[in-house]
Amino acid sequence: MSFPEEVVEHYVKWNGGRPQRPLFRNVDFDEIEVSEFLPRMVAPRSPNGSNLLMEEAATDGWRNNRLPRNPVPFAIDWGDNYFCVDVDTRKIY
């Protein structure tokens, strides 16, 4: 599985975390706000009380049929909805 270079650089430097600029504008949707990026490695409890790792979120979503196989969750919004990257197309959902 490979991720876009920007995502890899972020995780090498921060291992998840809260973004400094959490709000993203999208012409097709309302504004999108990231609460936090899911950590890849064990990290202290996150600000919203979650301590779920990226791999655990993916495995749980796949096991419970809440996520298709290609998208991998890498962040969440304030409603605990996942942001995912499709490992084949590299599109973000």
pLDDT tens sequence across 8-23 = 787 788 777 777 777 7
Whole-number Å distance between alpha carbons of 10 and 8: 5
What are the φ/ψ torsions at residue 54 (nearest 5 degrees)? Answer: -55, -50
* Location of structure tokens 């291992």: 15
Burial of 79 (0-12, 13-18, 19+ CB in 10 A): exposed
> Angle at the Cα of 44 (from 39 to 46), degrees rounded to 5?
65
Q: The tokens of 49 are what?
A: 């009380």
Q: Domain residue spans in the chain?
A: 5-86
* 13-58 pLDDT, tens digit each: 877 777 777 777 777 777 888 888 888 776 555 555 556 788 888 8
